[in-house]
Amino acid sequence: MFRDEDAFRDYLERSEVVVVGTLTSFGERAEGRAYGTLHVERVLRGPAGADIDLHPTGGFLSGEPGQRVIALLSTQRGEMRLHSFCAASGLYGYSEPLEGYMKEALQLRPL
């Protein structure tokens, strides 16, 4: 997916918003509607409201309501969408080590 750690950090750096939250809905989307909704628990970067509609742009996307995740988002086509790159969807299962790594990487390369 990424050739090395620097490539992942570049991908992370290009995201405008990074949040930790819980999926409140997830799955098939109707025309013009979000693929899911994320209730935000913590913001690691950028502005974010209490709930975020998830609009995928690519990558392998999986999840289920109630799952804790880390979401990376960026403005695409005039709206906030999941920040994807190749197979990376912008939505990752939550773990404390992953959150810690992202916090550290974002401090090293601030927006």
Local confidence pLDDT in tens for the 111 residues of the chain: 677 888 888 888 888 999 999 999 887 665 556 788 899 999 999 988 899 888 877 767 788 899 999 999 988 877 888 887 776 788 889 999 999 999 988 886 544
**Three-state DSSP class for residue 36:** strand
Strand partners, 25: 37
Domain coverage including residue 16: 5-108
pTM of the predicted model as reported, rounded to 2 decimal places: 0.85
Q: Amino acid letter at 79?
A: E
Residue 85's CATH number: 2.40.50.120
As for how many domains the chain has, the answer is 1
